[in-house]
Amino acid sequence: MARPQGGPGNMVAILGYSREQIIDAVQSMYTAVADQPWSEFHFPVGRDACSVLGYPRTDLDALPEHLVDSFAGVGQPMRADLISAGDRVLDLGAGAGVDTLIAAHRAGPQGRVTALDLTWAMARKLRAEADAAGAQNIDVVQGGAEALPFADETFDVITSNGALNLVPDKRRAIGEMFRVLRPGGRLQIADVVIRRPVTVDCESDPRLWVECVVGATVDDELKAMFEDAGFENVRVLREFDYFAHSPSAQTRDVAAGFGARSMELAMERGETAPSRLQQWLRRADPRRVARMIRRRGLAGMTSLFLALTACYGTLLLMGLLAMSGLGIGLNETVWAGAILVFAVLAAAVVVAGRRRHRQWGPAITACVGTAVIGYALLIDYSFLTELAGFVLLGAGAGWDLWCNRREQQRILGLREDSQHERA
């Protein structure tokens, strides 16, 4: 039996690849799921996957078996129960159509369900199965989420299952969802989220197009993206360790390394979309920026930059003011304290990084650098001593960043030693 090349349907790399390469990888993988669902995949498919995710048996028994065989969702968005009789529903990334047919049953003969999928093989299979089941209120459209081929405010409800993480431009896709929903319309979605973002370049290994979590979004950033676009009352219905059910040990390890899991969300469309300025201000929220810096492992380098700015930036500013004839007093104790606080913070971040990469070198180097800076500031000042301290602190922070990248490469299988370990 031939085994399709590729991995979990929710693991598609976006770093280092063009949009066309990503789309080709997704279409190739899901064509295999549509045409050869009995084959061996790195992710659960079919009735077993539906049962694991919590689909009621009564819903599954009412569906064509061949359709259920090609199910490759990551959650159970129908848990939100947002579809009512007479609704116009869009199933975004419909796949073989399990959610489509369930939605068609709930919308009833007065409602209408449009199933959209990027993969022609999936759309073809869904159309055939819907016709065979006599479902008259289903339309099947092939297309992508970044440019939905529908007029504004067309739908009452959008449902989606494991599609958004496969989309290169997620903000554009979310904006499109907002556009085609009517004001007050409902959105229910299941997708993959991660706790730690992938920050290494994956272009050296095409295998990662379909086997790694770099297409997923950090959990609270996904919710923030919907709120940025104008969705309201964004709520988490369930978080689920979808990857624990993967038959691939490598997939389970990669998912665990980045805290990957499924999340089911429900929300409503607001009356109007926020302006670009409002969206920019939301994204520039200092708390949000701080979380992004911390998760990307840049907190140490950021604290070092602040320490350098407090030290030499202040000196530069004082010099410029003096040249312009403006002299202001400077409390040297407060100044030195501010520099030392940022330096200590940078060292603390580097020390904390050892928990992830298990290397003592960066922590020792950063701590020695901080101690040298403290000696120069508080005991016996010397510019060269102070500069040497900053050099050591910078070396420790840079070393820590490099170790974090190396650890991510190991988890993803990009490092040569991890390739040998699996061989």
Q: Is 162 a residue whose pLDDT tops 50? A: yes
Environment class of 286 (CB within 10 Å of its CB; exposed 0-12, middle 13-18, buried 19+) = exposed
Q: Which of 89, 88, 85, 109 is nearest to 99 (CA)?
A: 89
Q: Tell me, what's the pLDDT at 131?
A: 86
Coarse DSSP helix, strand, coil percentages of the chain, rounded to the nearest 5 percent = 55, 15, 30
More reliable by pLDDT, 264 or 294: 264
Q: Give 105-141 pLDDT, tens digit per residue.
A: 999 999 999 999 988 888 888 888 888 888 889 999 9
Residue 27: predicted pLDDT: 64
pLDDT(170) > 80: yes
3-state secondary structure of 191: strand
Condensed to tens digits (0 to 9), the pLDDT of residues 50-105 reads: 999 999 999 999 898 888 888 888 999 999 999 999 999 999 999 888 999 999 99
Q: What is the pLDDT of residue 21?
A: 63
pLDDT value, residue 18: 58
Average pLDDT (298-304) is 93
Per-residue confidence at 46, pLDDT binned at 50, 70, 90?
A: confident
Contact 191, 185 (CB under 8 A): no
In 3D space, the residue among 96, 193, 98, 114 whose CA is nearest the CA of residue 157 turns out to be 114
**pLDDT at position 34:** 65
